[in-house]
Amino acid sequence: MSEGVNQARESGSKTLRKSWECWLVASYPERVLEVFLSQGHTQMTALSHYLGLPFTQGDKGAMLEYVRGWA
């Protein structure tokens, strides 16, 4: 497999993982520590790299369809 394909695959999985963590934190703010730990991150890693995205209430409502069942 070419190096470009491998890089694209790795980038896609990182983007999915980041989105999933952000969506979980936005949907379950009271369980933020559990979200961090479930992703294998320390609080510092998550706070500095994965949080702070400006989701609207509409965004958060739409996310629930996908993250429901995690908690």
pLDDT in tens, 31-44: 988 988 888 888 78
Q: Give phi and psi for 51, each to the nearest 5.
A: -120, 170
The predicted model scores a pTM of 0.73
Q: Is a pLDDT exceeding 60 seen at residue 10?
A: no
CB count within 10 Å of CB 12 equals 10
pLDDT average, residue stretch 18-36: 89
Q: Is a pLDDT exceeding 70 seen at residue 68?
A: yes
**26 or 46, higher pLDDT:** 26
Q: Is the dihedral of CA 42, 60, 65, 62 positive or negative?
A: negative
